[in-house]
Structure 1
Amino acid sequence: MRKQRTISEIVKVSGIGVHTGKKVDVVIEPAPENTGIVFHRTDKNVFIKANQVNVVDTTLSTTLGINGIYVKTVEHLLSSLYALNIDNCIIKIDNEEVPILDGSSASWVYLLKSASFVEQKHYKKVLIVTKPVKIKDSGKFVALLPCRKFKISYSISFDGTFINKQKYELEINEQSFIKEISKARTFCFLRDIEYMQQNNLALGGSLDNAVVVDDYGIANEDPLRYENEFVRHKILDAIGDLSILNYDIKTHYIAYKSGHNLNYRLVSSLLEDKKSYVIIGSPKQETQILENLGYLSPVVG
């Protein structure tokens, strides 16, 4: 187990929301231990904690909300915070959507690492998956399996397109996230942009913040950052969606053609089944629980 962390300096950034197209200013401030990740809509003076209860929409992104006040497209920032082991901070935001920046987590990682980190007194609690939780729906599949580590195996399939089939697997930690995942950008198909904009989505999207796929390849002048950038971005999104558990996670997450909605349903299914996981709050408790369960020997991974 590790101690909780916050940032040591304030982080400031401005940008536009990829779906709303609205300009937004963000200020990330340090917070005391056990605060968690809390969004403060400063224009409404409403605080919204990043947790499963406050997820109100999963259409093309993850939206948190309370009483009709929202913070949209939180997954890239939450993914970065989780991977960098930043557990406590207040995110002040003066509009309804987190800025998309370049469509990846790279800018968030740079800004947060530049602020540096402060180790706090209390331990970060760990959630260990102890039995499989699975969902199948319309040819899609997602699961959480017992594992000693946090590992992700992800497969996508866009037959007949430039993307085609891609898969990627890795253990998630700060170093692997920064090197292998953080620079992967969000993506969309050129044919879908008009439909999304007619439905008030992707109003702030551009070739500067997304990889746009057409019939021949990508419309962007800049090349792909990874050969399989598309599946790596899906992993980035999944980390953000799972991070709202607010624990360090020990599980093998497996997904085929998953997305924000299926991730939300998976986390909900996990939390509803109290026998599918254990929560560990201290190193002593960790040893006791693992010995009592006989957990380490049969675990996968």
Structure 2
Amino acid sequence: MKQRTIAKKVENIGIGLHKGEPVKLVLEPALANTGIVFYRSDIDASFVAKALNIKNTQLATVLGDLESGRFISTIEHLMSAISAYGIDNIKISVDANEVPIMDGSALSFCMMLDEAGISELDEPKQVLVVKKEVIIKDGAKMVALRPSTSPKFSFSIDFARSAAIGKQSFSFEFSKKTYLEHIARARTFGFLDDVKKLNAMGLALGGSLDNAIVIDGDKILNPDGLRYENEFVRHKILDAIGDLNVFGAQILGDYEAIAGSHELNHKLSLELLSDASNYELVSLKSQESKELSRVFA
């Protein structure tokens, strides 16, 4: 099975979640073994999407250094779509410090990837195979990776704060087809009072009912309601898939979370990499390709 990139350059413009300003997004093909590379055209700086380059996870997944201003934020939804499409190498350019939020899900990015098409490269695909269970706990919160040849993502949340969310659980077997059916359209969400606080801090200025589910007490403010009955937990899985796409190779293993977060996902990635016996980097040859093709098709 070969490495993949996109077949042609595609562009789009969307609103940045935090600044609330238009951001131009350009996706371009990349050579084999390049990896996923973000480029900020406004400051001529590149950022390779790897676990060690993630420096902040408070409001989003952030590559680079916030203090110096050399960073790019809110990469997780695009990274999630890239993972689902099995893309190994791509150049992503923006003219601001964040990836546009689009509609708050991965759907717009999937549409861009569909428009760009997929191109196979003349190098074997690399897969990071989870060999041992790795767990991160923080009180009642937990995230884990376990060995599996049919990777699943399972997530549970409990928002006692609002009956609009409450307790939700969801699990799905990972493939491009199931991702598009069950995960890609799930939007990010937030509480109205939290949004107001962030706005006062100069953050989330681009947030609106067009790109997020907004909750006020026990009410969902979006006129059209939800896309899935349990859209909230499905979006958490969408985030997790993006957060784990930071190894320079696609990951093969089961993921489970109880009240997981960007921060815990990042800690999980670092813990996995901290011990070489936790994983194996496999170059897919013909026989392995047949067995795993349905996962990374």
Tell me the TM-score range normalised by the shorter chain.
over 0.9
- The residue aligned with 1:197 is 199
Structure 1 pair 29–189 and aligned structure 2 pair: CA distance change class (3 A): same
Q: CA deviation at 1:139?
A: 1.7
Distance in 1 of aligned mates of 2:73 and 2:265: 16
Greater than 6 Å deviation, 4+ residue runs: none
Task: Show CA shifts across 1:127-154 (max 9, x none).
Answer: 1111111111032111111111221110
Q: What code does the residue aligned with 1:44 have?
A: I
> Aligned to 1:86, what secondary structure does the other structure show?
coil
Structure-to-structure mapping, 1:32-181, within 5 angstroms: 32-65=31-64, 68-161=69-162, 162-181=164-183
Cα RMSD of the aligned pairs, angstroms, is 1.5
Q: Which 10-residue stretch deviates more, 62-71 or 27-36?
A: 62-71
Question: 1:27 Cα deviation (Å)?
Answer: 1.0
Q: CA deviation at 1:272?
A: 0.2
> What residue number does 2:21 align with?
22
Q: Is the 8 A contact 1:55 1:63 kept in 2?
A: yes
Cα offset, 1:73, TM superposition: 0.1
8 Å Cα contact 2:74/2:98 also seen in 1: yes
- Point out where structure 2 has 5 or more consecutive residues left out of the alignment: 290-297
Equivalent residue pairs, number:
286
Aligned match of 1:218 in 217, 220, 230? Answer: 220
Distance across 1 between alignment mates of 2:102 and 2:91? 19
**How far did residue 284 of structure 1 move?**
7.1
Q: Which moved more, 1:147-156 or 1:227-236?
A: 147-156
Match of 2:269? 267
Q: Measure the CA separation in 2 of the matches of 1:280 and 1:187.
A: 37
Gaps of 5+ in 1: 288-301
User: TM-score when scaled to structure 1?
Assistant: 0.92
Deviation track 1:55-87 (CA, whole Å, cap 9, x = no partner) reads 011012101015641110000001001101111
- C-alpha deviation, 1:24, in angstroms: 0.9
Specify the SS of the correspondent of 1:243: coil
Q: What residue identity is the alignment partner of 2:257?
A: A
TM-score relative to the length of structure 2: 0.93
* Aligned equivalents of 1:186, 1:213: Cα separation in 2: 11
- Whether the 8 Å contact between 2:52 and 2:270 is mirrored in structure 1 is no
Specify the SS of the correspondent of 2:47: strand
d(CA) in 2 for partners of 1:283, 1:28: 28
Per-residue CA deviations over 1:74-120 (Å, capped at 9, x if unaligned) read 00001001101111111111110100010001111011111111111
Partner of 1:227: 229
Tell me the percent identity.
Answer: 46
Question: C-alpha separation between the residues in 1 aligned to 2:287 and 2:23?
Answer: 43
Distance 1:189 1:46 in 2: 34
Deviation at 1:249, TM superposition (A): 1.4
